[in-house]
Amino acid sequence: MIPINYRDPRPIYEQVKDGFRRLILNGVLPPDSKLPSVRELAGQLAINPNTIQRAYRELEAEGCICSAPGRGSFVCQIDAAKLTRQRELTEALKGAARELRALGLDEQTLIAMIKEETSHD
């Protein structure tokens, strides 16, 4: 279901998160679909359950999935265009951050800039 590439420089939880996001956006997992339990998926992928839990937590924070205590995690109704644009902007931000670091901007200054921009909400 979700491919894990151990040669990929991204952490495993990001690969799981991106895999589910891709399945959701492509309609393979339609709204209200039940996701495998954390333990079930961890067993299938032979990885730590905490890794799956982190991926699920981040997917929930993004609004891709919803958790119901005692029932599990389900795909939420989402605006695919909004999610796609959010992903595009996230990748652009990551690229800009890498370039700024390569140009000598220290991590603390970069973090302060992001905090300043996000505090205007």
For position 38, which CATH number holds? 1.10.10.10
Identify whether 38 is part of a domain. yes
**Does the pTM of the predicted model rise above 0.75?**
no
Which pLDDT score is estimated for 26? Answer: 80
List pLDDT tens digits, range 2-52: 999 999 999 999 999 999 988 987 889 999 999 999 999 999 999 999 999
Same structural domain, 63 and 31: yes
Supply the mean pLDDT for the chain.
90
Same structural domain, 57 and 87: no
For residue 30, give its domain range. 12-75
Identify whether 4 is part of a domain. no
Same structural domain, 68 and 48: yes
Residue 81 has pLDDT above 70, yes or no: no
Same structural domain, 36 and 63: yes
Torsion, CA 33, CA 38, CA 42, CA 47, rounded to 10: 120
Same structural domain, 63 and 86: no
| pLDDT band at 74; cut points 50, 70, 90 | very high
- The total domain count for the chain is 2
Residue 121 has pLDDT above 70, yes or no: no
* Beta-sheet strands, E only, within 30-76: 65-68, 72-75
Residue 69 has pLDDT above 80, yes or no: yes
Which pLDDT score is estimated for 80? Answer: 65
Same structural domain, 86 and 109: yes
CA–CA separation, 1 and 7 (whole Å): 18
